[in-house]
Amino acid sequence: MKILVVSDTHKNYQALKAVVDKVDFDILVHLGDGEHEFNDIRRLYPDKGMIYVGGNCDYGQHELSHVAKIGGVKIFCCHGHTFGVHDGLEHLAAAAKQEGCNVALFGHTHLHRTDKIDGVLLMNPGSLDSPRGKNKPSFGIISIEPDGEIKMNILAVSTNRV
């Protein structure tokens, strides 16, 4: 099972479409601040699994967090702004663990990272539109192997090319 993880596309439809068109995935998880382009992509790929959680720049009615069971793994999805991710990931990891999740996905900071806190794997895919620091636009890929092994990777793009 392969999960494409994106966040903070901020109306950059071209960047999101470039990644979705080129990456082989089973499920797309968008972690907020990109409701318009996500809806466009969902219409183009009606047969793909898709999850969206609302971010601090979204104005539609969206869940702020979502628990998904994918490939036998429980995954906590959120934008991160309601969990104070600028100040640390402990609160997010605790919320994921309370929900029985092995993995927590978040965005908001526009900084890609992976981590592990109290047994919970965490991933921020960064931003496809406006990365911070000296980072390039990025997205994440999570592979869940048949034996339950979880592999997390962050991939960079340049000028909307994967």
Question: How much is the mean pLDDT over the chain?
Answer: 93
Band of pLDDT at residue 58, cut at 50, 70 and 90: confident
Count how many Cα atoms sit within 13 Å of the Cα of residue 10 in the half-sphere of its side chain.
14
Q: What is the pLDDT of residue 61?
A: 87
User: Does the domain made of 8-156 have the CATH classification 3.40.1710.10?
Assistant: no
Residue 133: C-alpha distances to residues 109, 125, 130, 137, 161 (Å): 11, 14, 10, 11, 20
Provide the residue type at 48 as one letter: K
Segment 104-161, tens digit of pLDDT:
999 999 999 999 999 999 999 999 998 898 899 999 999 999 999 999 999 999 754 5
Q: What is the pLDDT of residue 160?
A: 47
Q: Looking at the predicted structure, is the pLDDT value of residue 12 above 60?
A: yes
Q: Looking at the predicted structure, is the pLDDT value of residue 99 above 70?
A: yes
